[in-house]
Amino acid sequence: MDNVTVVTFFTLSGLNYTVQHKFILFTLTLLYYFIIWLVNAVVIITILLDRKLHEAMYILLCNLCINGLYGTAGFYPKFLMDLLSSSHVISYAECLLQSFVIHSSSGGDLSVLAVMAYDRYVAICQPLQYHCVMTTQRISLLVAFSWLLPFFCMFINTMTLFQLKLCGSHISKLYCSNSLVGKLACSISMTNTGVAYFNIAIYIVHFVCLMLSYVYLLRTCRTSKQGRKKFMQTCVPHLISLLNFGFAVLFDLMYTRFGLRMLSQSLQNFMTIEFLLIPPLLNPLVYGFKLTKIRNKILVFFFKNRN
């Protein structure tokens, strides 16, 4: 307890590049962030402007893209500034805010994907009852759930950090993480640990619901030709997004829990930000190309402007 200090800022690690490489990385990162905004904005605007796309599946896809932009906004602006700076520091308040945004977005991704799995379950396994089950009111509640639950989980987790007395200020990551801030505490906080496991339990329930949905989907598709067609058209993009999200979060958890110091710094950096690199770009591209209605609307819009 003698080493307790009042921490007002944290130092982030991972950026060990020469000045020349930093400018190249800055340019590539800025371009990549612009592409993420572009492809997500195209899908969002297409869905919002076309009333024929105001159905549950497309509304949920729109929220998935919005959530992707929300999460990347918590990382890329700060990362771009760090690339042009010699000192990679972040204030205490900004650190907790960044962690809140990035991880509530990550939780939001899983919540939206879970709701999308439920929507596909009803559409394929109970097609005659679909419009009775997926009413406008229920869709609104499910969308609100997919946003508010991650916010609530991350809010209570962040609140437990304020009572911690810290014995360090170095975070071995490119961005702030509540779990790494918690590791800087001088003593273990049972409240913080309990809240962390509570949040993990909530998302384990999400995962179980996802798995059950696909068990029923696969059973139905085995006996229904029409069900198989719907599955290939709408569930395959969802599965790609889900698997990509799962691997991304697994990489991040492996680094956070085990460190993996035997790996190169570049590979460690990739593992920690993979869920901020691939899913925000992959989701709108996969759905944009796979879902016929969205693909046709986008193509019509661009060809009209070209003519």
pLDDT in tens, 230-280: 777 767 777 777 887 777 777 776 666 665 566 666 777 777 788 888 889
Closest CA to 70 of 27, 26, 37, 111: 37
Residue 268 one-letter amino acid:
Q
Query: Tokens 């205490």 correspond to what residue?
Result: 92
* 97 within some domain: yes
pLDDT in tens, 173-184: 888 888 888 888
Category of 212 on φ-ψ map: left (φ > 0), alpha (ψ -120 to 50) or beta = alpha
Please give the pLDDT value at position 1. 46
Question: Which domain CATH number covers 26?
Answer: 1.20.1070.10
- Does any domain span residue 1? no
Whether 12 and 175 have beta carbons less than 8 Å apart is answered as yes
Domain membership flag for residue 110: yes
Helix 279-290 to helix 56-73 angle (10° resolution) is: 160
Residue 77 has what pLDDT?
94
pLDDT value for 184: 83
Is there a domain that residue 251 lies in?
A: yes
Distance CA 229, CA 246 (A): 25
Q: Which of 113, 115, 142, 149 is nearest to 242 (CA)?
A: 113
- Residue 284, domain extent: 9-306
What is the Cα–Cα distance from 296 to 51, expressed in whole angstroms?
Answer: 14
| Structural domain count, the chain | 1
Q: Which pLDDT does position 62 carry in this prediction? A: 93
pTM here is: 0.88
> What percent of the chain is helix, strand and coil (3-state, nearest 5)?
80, 5, 20
Q: For the chain, which residues score pLDDT lower than 50? A: 1
In a domain, 135, yes or no: yes
3-class secondary-structure state, position 43: helix
Establish if 2 belongs to a structural domain: no
Residue 3 lies inside a defined structural domain of this protein = no
In a domain, 190, yes or no: yes
